[in-house]
Amino acid sequence: MIIFSKVLLNPKEYINHHLKNFQFDLKTLKFLNIYDKNDSFFILNCDSLFFSFFLGLIFIFFFYHISKNLNCWIPGKLQSCVEISVDFIEKYVKEIYPYKKNILIAPLSLTIFIWVFLMNFMDLLPIDLFPFLFKYFFNVSTIKIVPSTDINIVFSLSLGVFFLILFYNISSKGIINFLKSLFFKPFNHIIFSFFNFFLEFTSLISKPLSLGLRLFGNMYSGEMIFILISAFLPWWIQWILTVPWAIFHILVIFLQAFIFMILTIIYLSMAVEKH
Which residues are the active-site residues? 210, 214, 218
Distance CA 235, CA 197 (A): 56
The side-by-side arrangement of strands in the sheet containing 23-25 is: 30-32, 23-25, 43-45
What separation, in Å, do the N-terminal and C-terminal C-alpha atoms of the chain show? 50
**130-156 burial, b if ≥16 CB within 10 A, otherwise e?**
bbeebeeeeebbbbbbbbbbbbbbbbe
> Cα(146)–Cα(91) distance, rounded to whole angstroms?
29
Query: Cβ neighbours of residue 47 under 8 Å, at least 6 residues apart?
Result: 21, 22, 142, 143, 144, 145
For residues 91 and 95, what is the distance between their CA atoms, to the nearest angstrom? 6
